[in-house]
């Protein structure tokens, strides 16, 4: 049911927003797989001329596998639209992203796009951050700094900042940028001024980027359990 919801949301978003001769940012994650599939179908059926800019190695592979035109921000520094997923979305369209470890490149591509569209299933919708997503806010850090960043976050903001470990190898997960990720599991009592919190974290030496996406999203498509799609 969740996979069907992802597909419904991705399909509708691609159908409503993609136009001919667009430069499109392609995000990362399981829902984006369905978005790229639909994008490919429309290119073949309608003869659309599109250029795609990926946010990760996974996104780059998806673009290639589906025969779409691959580019980058060096060639296309301004994007018409970007599609991406999210780990959680609150009522203010503030996102937690980075469960897949691609938060920095996702945020760079999102910032280059005139419009950012998020596609997700119903489990990602929340009244407030932390309601559904229990794994914390991802923070990408320079490897040598992780312990310093960890201690600083915990002392200033509370909660626990845990070094994310790799699943298929010994040691920490390494991002596409050769960095580490801390997952900050914030306390329920933490201030919900996410803009201020984001700034506080980013000013810690060694922090590359956070998984908080604030004021960047134009619209979110949620695939629902009953087969409908709702928007926010």
Q: What is the pLDDT of residues 65-100, one digit of tens each?
A: 999 999 999 999 999 999 999 999 999 999 999 999
Q: What is the pLDDT of residue 88?
A: 98
The secondary structure of residue 122, as a DSSP letter, is G
Per the CB < 8 A criterion, the answer to whether 141 and 147 are in contact is no
Q: How far apart are CA 24 and CA 116, in angstroms?
A: 10
Q: Which residues contact residue 109 at a Cβ distance below 8 angstroms, ignoring those fewer than 6 apart?
A: 25, 27, 53, 54, 55, 73, 79, 82, 84
Q: Which residues pair with 229 in a beta bridge?
A: 223
Contact 206, 142 (CB under 8 A): yes
The CATH number of whichever domain residue 197 belongs to comes to 3.30.70.260
CATH code for the domain of 56? 3.40.50.1360
Residue-range definition of the domain harbouring residue 141: 137-210
What is the total count of domains within the chain?
Answer: 2
Model confidence over 92-109: pLDDT tens digits? 999 999 999 999 999 999
Examine the pLDDT at 189 and tell me if it is beyond 90: no
d(CA 155, CA 69): 47
Q: Is residue 132 part of a domain?
A: no
Regarding pTM above 0.75, the answer is yes
CA distance 178 to 101: 11
Residues catalogued as catalytic: 106
229 falls within a domain? no
């Amino acid at each position: 049911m969740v996979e069907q919801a992802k597909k419904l949301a991705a399909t509708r978003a691609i159908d409503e927003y993609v136009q001919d001769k667009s430069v499109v940012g392609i995000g990362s994650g399981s829902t984006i797989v369905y978005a790229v599939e639909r994008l490919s179908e429309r290119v073949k059926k309608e003869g659309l001329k599109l250029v795609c800019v990926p946010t990760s190695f996974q996104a780059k592979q998806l673009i290639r596998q589906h025969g779409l035109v691959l580019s980058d921000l060096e060639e296309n520094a301004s994007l018409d639209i970007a599609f991406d997923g999210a780990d959680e979305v609150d009522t203010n369209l503030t996102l937690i992203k980075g469960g897949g470890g691609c938060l920095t490149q996702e945020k760079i591509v999102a910032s280059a796009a005139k419009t950012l569209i998020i596609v997700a299933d119903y489990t990602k919708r929340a009244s407030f951050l932390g309601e559904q997503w229990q794994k914390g806010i991802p923070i990408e850090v320079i490897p040598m700094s992780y312990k310093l960043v960890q201690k600083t976050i915990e002392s200033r903001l509370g909660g626990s900042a845990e070094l994310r470990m790799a699943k298929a190898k010994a040691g920490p997960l390494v991002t596409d940028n050769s960095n580490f990720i801390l997952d900050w599991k914030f306390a329920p009592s933490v201030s919900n001024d996410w803009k201020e919190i984001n700034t506080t974290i980013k000013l810690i030496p060694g922090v590359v980027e956070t998984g908080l996406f604030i004021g960047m999203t134009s619209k979110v498509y949620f695939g629902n359990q009953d087969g409908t799609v709702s928007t926010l």
